[in-house]
Chain A
Amino acid sequence: MADLIRLLYAVLLLKKGGFFLHASAVVHQEKVYVFCGSSGSGKTTITRLAGTRPVLTDETTAVIKKHGNYYGYATPFYGDAGPSKNNSGAPLKTILFINKNHRFSFKPLKHGEAIRHFLPNIFMASNDKQWIDRVFENLLLLTKRIQCYNLNFRPETKLWRYLDEHLK
């Protein structure tokens, strides 16, 4: 049933310029920070470092386009942290492709680099070429509006200060 719901929502999202992303999401200073990566990259770890910041999801983020602006939303699809207590969304600040590391570092991604990082992490409801073409179009538009980054991080609460200092 969950797979069917995810499929239906994925189709709707795609038609409206968005998609489901394999990512955790945290609201920080009223903006959504999305942390995207494969299993073991640190998505759930970051939600545990969130402190009092609302955690939208530790597993699947809905990226939604409304009136030309992008938002990050909670979804009913969760990982180790369990269901979200914050069934809401907020304007998207950035999307970070994460890796745990022994030190902090980050790098802004060009459009092509970002899209290359996105593709394996988007919920593909179909292998049809038209579907993938639509995903490409949505990503091209999103990466023109939202700056994406690679982020290596140490699992410490200092993360938020680091992001504040580097993502102004």
Chain B
Amino acid sequence: MSADFDVRHTAHLARLELSEAEAAKFQSQLSQILSYVEQLKEVDVSGVDPTAQTAHTVNVFRQDAEREWFTSEQALANAPRQANHLFIVPKVIE
């Protein structure tokens, strides 16, 4: 896997612009990290069910009840631009 790792693709997905030097540096560093993590493949997990959780529990729910939190003034307090209670961002092309 580490050999297939393409830092340019990952940078594009993260919307990061990398210089040639940065690309080379991160390609090598991130590849090393991946190789390190790959050591996990040596563990025998044939008797273990795959999971994405370690909490060993399920169903942590809320009841469907509403509560107030921010007013729109509070929600917009840190907005660089706002108008008519809306966050204003550069025009988005659909």
A pairs with B: no
Which residues of A come within 8 Å of B, CB atoms? none
